[in-house]
A and B are shown apart, each in its own frame.
Chain A
Amino acid sequence: MTEIRSEPFVVNIGPQHPSTHGVFRVKVTVDGERIVDAEMVMGYLHRSIEKLAEERTYTQNIPFTDRTDYLSSMSNNLGYCLAVEKLAGIEVPPRGNAIRVIMAELQRLASHCMAIGAFANDTGAWQTPVMWTFREREKILDLFEMTSGARLTCNYMRIGGVAFDLPKEFEPACRKLLATFPSFIDELHGLLSENEIFIARTRGIAVITPEQAINASLSGPMLRGSGVAWDIRKADPYCGYEQYDFDIPVGYNGDSYDRFIVRLEEMRQSVRIIEQALDGLPGGPYRTEVPLALRPPKGEAYARVEGPRGELGYYVVSDGGPAPFRFHIRPPSFINLSLLKEMTVGGTVADAIVALGSVDIVVGEIDR
């Protein structure tokens, strides 16, 4: 008796879809509600930043780094500046390093707020958690605007340090934020982590085993959610991270729920780091002077930073000219996405959306 499968049909969780966090398409072959096959289609936001960077001087490339991952521009700036400083052998004064740490951690808080809000949206808690996280994120963006002049693409860091010193009113505003942030995290914890329906929707969805995570070279909350304790700030400290005392949150069984609680805990740790950095803020210059038409010696350098989404690497090759010969970015969300097929096949469409939300992708970074 020839058995005819009820024919699966292809549904486009298409470029224009409310929960793909940007212009990103998943061609999902669906049999009933169950997903049989998922194929990603990317490149809608490709602006060939890496090619453009080869015609501009090192300092002119800094604004590009803001626009790759528009949700964590500070971390991208930091990554690029570290790479060029390693290439050109430039020393950064202690005050510059401390300000860089504060800014990177503030950016992590803002990005995680966005990630948790969007993830809660995908599970269906329509708009309420997102609005709360945005309210807190606004306070952080005000701090950025106060120091760098821009809210999203700050372009604040320069090779050899930071563009401007911290304004006088930054310290009190930042202290006020740090005082209220832990209570906000507890509020979110109460609203979502102990919510039966939220647990039912995210527990056991898109499970990634530690071996799978390591083989697919995942990084950031994806890796830590699966139980692997790995953080660039601890493994390969930069900008003086070794002075600060903080912990790395590690999940238990690598499902969407664990990734969510890892991000929530990371926000608490970032608050601790910022407090320590603010307390011990050294005086002195915030930047070593670097000639505009910097010509680093011939060679290559790779610097990596623990961005909100994972290991953010910058690989810069110089042929002695004013412009980099080759400029490459290691985008964490592009690599974290490589397991999407294993995560979604077998589940339903609703689970696929939750899985995609738990990866926390930024399409600007994927397509560069």
Chain B
Amino acid sequence: MSGAPFLATEHWWDLRDLSNISREILEFLDRVGPDWLAYVVSPLIGFVAAFLLFVLPSQLFVGVYGERRLIGRMQSRLGPNRVGKFGLLQPIADAIKLIQKEAITPRGADKWVMWTAPVVFVAPAVLVWAVIPFGPNMVIADIPVGLVYFLAITALPVLAAFMAGWSGNNKYSLFGAMRVVAMAISYEVALVLGLLGVVLFTSTMSLQAIVEWQREHDIWLVFLQPLAFVIYFISASAELNRTPTDIAEAESEIVAGYLTEYSGMKWGLFYGMDIGYALAAAAFGSTVFLGGWSLFGLEEWVPPWLILVAKTHLFYFVFIWTRGTLPRLRIDQLMALAWKYMLPLAAINLLVVAAERLWWHEAGLGDGIVYLFAAANIALALLLVVGWARVLGYRPERVPTRPRLVKHVGGYVAPGAETGGGR
């Protein structure tokens, strides 16, 4: 099935594969301009296409508008519907409002660092999209280390958050900065180990090859590697500071965390790019775990990049869902979760996958064995997710969720004497 770019047809209007159009443009440029022009223009086309077609609309409309509408519906209120038809112009209205707002520099703040922080925060958000394949030959840079590239890029905004928090010369933002960094590092370790499980199976780190592998074996890696998917989801939501792990900007505790001192478009950049990273993590997650632009053969007819966009928004919906419902964990609980729970699970997952892979290749079994591995891994995942807490000695004590009902006044029961009620 892979090999020749099966969708690359000669006529440019075939929208199923946008590389036809870019190929036409490049050929035209070769005929017209000097030879280095095509070399310079091709990445530009890639980025402009990726940004205009996927990032900007999905970030603006799904991110700003969709999220607020959805969360509104979850909270039995309407969400923005005033600006424009159904409130669709709300993101643009927000942007305009933020642009003309004054960006204040507090006294005693470290001016240089404070204003480079948004730049350092925004740049990686665009770079992340260079590696994600939108179609059979629609990827800006299919480098052999795509997976590690994503991990490297997601390490940069953590630094920008620390710069923002540190330079704001404000106690709350210092709290926020320290929390962001401590959490991001501990979850990155679990993330790297979790993704290694995936690489072991596909024996390649290039994202395009991972998608091809999933198409060849007709199985999504989420079934083959459920543990890695669970670890990826929790680590991604921790890296992005989304509830239930949004302790960096815990509104109720440290005002706005590292963003306390920011206002105007500077804050807007942070807010917008938060959504950008969430979408990038969703796109990466759906590429690696949910089969990227392939849908069991459907990608011949439906344009592959539409499939990827749909999966990304589905993934992103789960982020919104958790944000709408779950309360926030405390910093030490999060740390304990990362080091005592996620890391051991990732390590065990790695061992199991290595054993499976070795057995698969030494014994030379056919490709059908993949489904057996999937079943085994899912069973293992369920067992570990539930059992590991018990191994750590956490016994969920029976929490009386209903108070005792007493008819008459007077007297008191010493605590712990009698735990009535039940779960």
Check if B415 sits within 8 Å of A227, measured CB to CB: yes
CA distance A198 to B402 in the complex (A): 15
A258 at interface by CB-CB < 8 Å:
yes
Check if B171 sits within 8 Å of A348, measured CB to CB: no
Check if A349 sits within 8 Å of B414, measured CB to CB: no
CA distance A36 to B174 in the complex (A): 18
Check if A229 sits within 8 Å of B252, measured CB to CB: no
A247 at interface by CB-CB < 8 Å:
yes
CB distance from A137 to the nearest CB of B (A): 13
Check if A230 sits within 8 Å of B409, measured CB to CB: yes
B127 at interface by CB-CB < 8 Å:
no
Q: Which residues of chain B are near A228, meaning CB under 8 Å?
A: 412
CA distance A20 to B419 in the complex (A): 32
Enumerate A244-293 residues with CB–CB distance to B below 8 Å.
247-254, 257-258, 261-262, 265
Q: Which residues of chain B are near A265, meaning CB under 8 Å?
A: 402-403, 405
Check if B244 sits within 8 Å of A124, measured CB to CB: yes
- Type the 1/0 row for B324-344, where 1 means its CB is closer than 8 Å to any CB of A: 111111111100000000000
A235 at interface by CB-CB < 8 Å:
yes
Q: Is the interface of B mostly helix, strand, loop or mixed?
A: loop
Known contacts A195-B327, A250-B406, A349 near B401 by CB under 8 Å: no
A96 at interface by CB-CB < 8 Å:
no
A308 at interface by CB-CB < 8 Å:
no
Tell me which of A125, A348, A351 contacts B327 (CB under 8 A). A125
B368 at interface by CB-CB < 8 Å:
no
Enumerate A213-235 residues with CB–CB distance to B below 8 Å.
214, 224, 226-231, 234-235
Enumerate A135-189 residues with CB–CB distance to B below 8 Å.
135, 189
A194 at interface by CB-CB < 8 Å:
yes
Q: Which residues of chain B are near A57, meaning CB under 8 Å?
A: none
Interface window among B14-22, B72-80, B369-377, B380-388 = B72-80
B95 at interface by CB-CB < 8 Å:
no
B255 at interface by CB-CB < 8 Å:
yes
B11 at interface by CB-CB < 8 Å:
no
Q: Which residues of chain B are near A249, meaning CB under 8 Å?
A: 403-406
Check if A247 sits within 8 Å of B407, measured CB to CB: yes
Check if B406 sits within 8 Å of A348, measured CB to CB: no
CA distance A201 to B411 in the complex (A): 30
Q: Which residues of chain B are near A200, meaning CB under 8 Å?
A: 329-330, 333
CB nearest to A194 among chain B residues? B401
Check if B416 sits within 8 Å of A120, measured CB to CB: no
Check if A261 sits within 8 Å of B402, measured CB to CB: yes
A301 at interface by CB-CB < 8 Å:
no
A25 at interface by CB-CB < 8 Å:
no
Kindly count the residue-residue contacts between A and B in the assembled complex, taking CB atoms under 8 Å apart. 159
Interface size on A, residues (CB 8 A): 63
A326 at interface by CB-CB < 8 Å:
no
CA distance A199 to B416 in the complex (A): 17
Tell me which of A9, A193, A197 contacts B326 (CB under 8 A). A197
CB distance from A248 to the nearest CB of B (A): 5
CB nearest to B418 among chain A residues? A252
CB nearest to A124 among chain B residues? B328
CA distance A275 to B235 in the complex (A): 50
Known contacts A120-B327, A131-B76, A228-B412, A197 near B244 by CB under 8 Å: yes
CB distance from B165 to the nearest CB of A (A): 14
Chain B interface bracket (under 10, 10 to 19, 20 to 34, 35 or more): 35 or more
Enumerate B316-370 residues with CB–CB distance to A below 8 Å.
323-333
Check if A191 sits within 8 Å of B401, measured CB to CB: no
B300 at interface by CB-CB < 8 Å:
no
Q: Which residues of chain B are near A230, meaning CB under 8 Å?
A: 409-410
Tell me which of B77, B250, B332 contacts A124 (CB under 8 A). B250
Check if B399 sits within 8 Å of A229, measured CB to CB: no
Q: Which residues of chain A are near B255, meaning CB under 8 Å?
A: 17-18
Q: Which residues of chain A are near B175, meaning CB under 8 Å?
A: 11, 33, 349
CA distance A292 to B175 in the complex (A): 58
Known contacts A19-B253, A197-B244, A191 near B412 by CB under 8 Å: no
Check if A353 sits within 8 Å of B253, measured CB to CB: yes
Check if A189 sits within 8 Å of B400, measured CB to CB: no
CA distance A224 to B327 in the complex (A): 25
Q: Which residues of chain B are near A201, meaning CB under 8 Å?
A: 327-330, 333
B243 at interface by CB-CB < 8 Å:
yes
CB nearest to A121 among chain B residues? B252
CA distance A247 to B330 in the complex (A): 35
Q: Which residues of chain B are near A132, meaning CB under 8 Å?
A: 75-76
CB distance from A213 to the nearest CB of B (A): 9
CB distance from B179 to the nearest CB of A (A): 9
CA distance A307 to B71 in the complex (A): 34
Known contacts A11-B171, A135-B76, A348-B332, A229 near B411 by CB under 8 Å: yes
Known contacts A123-B327, A348-B331, A229 near B253 by CB under 8 Å: no
CB nearest to A232 among chain B residues? B409
CA distance A198 to B330 in the complex (A): 11
CA distance A353 to B254 in the complex (A): 10
CA distance A283 to B74 in the complex (A): 44
CB distance from B395 to the nearest CB of A (A): 14
Check if B76 sits within 8 Å of A231, measured CB to CB: no
Check if A227 sits within 8 Å of B413, measured CB to CB: yes
Q: Which residues of chain A are near B332, meaning CB under 8 Å?
A: 33, 348
A59 at interface by CB-CB < 8 Å:
no
A341 at interface by CB-CB < 8 Å:
no
CA distance A159 to B6 in the complex (A): 87
Name the residue among A12, A227, A247 with the largest chain B CB count within 10 angstroms. A227
- Type the 1/0 row for A95-138, where 1 means its CB is closer than 8 Å to any CB of B: 00000000000000000000000001111111110111001000
A203 at interface by CB-CB < 8 Å:
yes
A350 at interface by CB-CB < 8 Å:
yes
CA distance A199 to B76 in the complex (A): 24
CB distance from B406 to the nearest CB of A (A): 4
CB nearest to A14 among chain B residues? B255
CA distance A229 to B400 in the complex (A): 17
CA distance A11 to B254 in the complex (A): 10
CB nearest to A19 among chain B residues? B252
Check if A349 sits within 8 Å of B252, measured CB to CB: no
A310 at interface by CB-CB < 8 Å:
no
Q: Which residues of chain B are near A250, meaning CB under 8 Å?
A: 403-406, 413
Q: Which residues of chain B are near A124, meaning CB under 8 Å?
A: 243-244, 246, 250, 252, 326-329
Tell me which of A198, A224, A349 contacts B253 (CB under 8 A). A349
- Type the 1/0 row for B215-258, where 1 means its CB is closer than 8 Å to any CB of A: 00000000000000000000000000001101100111111000
Q: Which residues of chain A are near B401, meaning CB under 8 Å?
A: 189, 193-194, 261
CB nearest to B408 among chain A residues? A234
Enumerate B54-97 residues with CB–CB distance to A below 8 Å.
71, 74-77
Q: Which residues of chain A are near B331, meaning CB under 8 Å?
A: 33, 348, 350
Tell me which of A12, A18, A191, A226 contacts B252 (CB under 8 A). A18
What are 9 A-B pairs at a CB distance below 8 A?
A: A9-B171, A124-B328, A126-B323, A135-B76, A195-B327, A235-B410, A250-B403, A250-B406, A261-B400
Other 17 A-B pairs with CB < 8 A, given A124-B243, A126-B243: A122-B252, A124-B244, A124-B329, A128-B71, A128-B74, A191-B325, A197-B244, A197-B326, A207-B415, A214-B412, A226-B415, A229-B406, A248-B407, A249-B406, A250-B403, A350-B331, A353-B253
